[in-house]
Amino acid sequence: MQHTEIFGIIGNPLGHSLSPRLHNWAFKQRKYAAIFKAWSLEKSQLADFVVGMRTLKLAGACVTIPYKESIIPLLDEISPRAKSIGAVNTLYWQGDKLCGENTDVDGFKLPLLKRAKPTSALILGAGGAARAVIVGLRELGIAQIRIANRNAEKAEALAQEFDIDTVSWHKREQNCASWIINTTPLGMHGSYAELSPYDFSLYNGQCQQDKLAYDLVYNPLQTKFLYDAKQAGLVVQDGLDMFVGQAIKQMQIWTNSSTDIDKTREFLLEIRK
């Protein structure tokens, strides 16, 4: 009988996670004998989960909020990229070693790879996702990376750690950047839906070419941030490709095979209806 590998996602809450349906669909597509489960954990259960993963030899896992940082000391090794971001979103085995990787950078870069690279980008927000965005922009060779955050101290700390500049949250529209990237949850389905982290009527981008507004939020696909950016003449990029890209990289790590980007995006659009 064929051995079925067991994968899953850990986090809390997991109610709206698309990962189980996406990964189960992807395994089925390539006739890979595996299932993908959702394990909602309390903080006190995290260490026990890792012991269980080692004992049962679970094949791999996604890690999401709030465990992306706290999982790190429980692992044998993490990649240089996960180390520079300070967060892990993927668990996998290398021989007997339980390892951690961060695929958010691959996801973030995916829709940008074919675009002309500008000299400047402004990041809105200074949480976990912003860290992956900074590393991604660095890898793409963007020279001037600036960050604005509601809590100025957090922006300052991140700017120091990564040697980038800060912009005052209150003057963020006065900054002249080609790419404006939203890493806050503003615009997300629910109580944030009507909000945007940026007033494009004040956008000071006349001096820039290749103007792009990139929203990491993907539910809904068209946020207020992207709607306003389009009205102001910017090219827009929603967050679904990032989600697709980070998941495709996870599948590659686990199964050593590639997944079609367009089909994956189509599948996600279908299940979100």
Q: Which stretch, 21-29, 137-145, 202-210, 212-220, contacts ligand NAP (CB under 6 A)?
A: 212-220
Query: Using the 8-state DSSP alphabet, how is residue 125 labeled?
Result: -
Q: How far apart are CA 51 and CA 60, in angstroms?
A: 13
Tell me how crowded residue 212 is: count the other CB atoms within 10 A of its CB.
Answer: 22
Residue type, 197: P
Interface with ligand NAP, residue 216, by CB under 6 A: yes
Interface with ligand NAP, residue 236, by CB under 6 A: no
Q: Among 112, 242, 251, 253, which residue sits at the site for ligand NAP (rule: CB under 6 A)? A: 242
Considering 68, 211, 224, 249, which one is annotated as catalytic?
68
Here's the x/- map for ligand NAP, 38-77, by CB under 6 A: it reads as ---------------------------x------------
Q: Among 6, 29, 84, 185, which residue sits at the site for ligand NAP (rule: CB under 6 A)? A: 185
Interface with ligand NAP, residue 106, by CB under 6 A: no
C-alpha neighbours within 13 Å on the C-beta side of residue 165: 13
Interface with ligand NAP, residue 151, by CB under 6 A: yes
Interface with ligand NAP, residue 126, by CB under 6 A: yes
Interface with ligand NAP, residue 107, by CB under 6 A: yes
**Under DSSP, is residue 177 helix (H, G, I), strand (E, B) or coil?**
coil
Whether 68 sits among the annotated catalytic residues: the reply is yes
Both tokens assigned to 9: 């996602």
Nearest to 69, CA basis, from 130, 149, 123, 128: 128
**Under DSSP, is residue 144 helix (H, G, I), strand (E, B) or coil?**
strand
CA 230 to each of CA 116, 151, 201, 213, 236: distance values in angstroms, whole numbers, following the listed order: 19, 27, 11, 8, 6
Q: Which residue is nearest to ligand NAP (CB)?
A: 127
Interface with ligand NAP, residue 127, by CB under 6 A: yes
Interface with ligand NAP, residue 146, by CB under 6 A: no
What residues act catalytically? 68
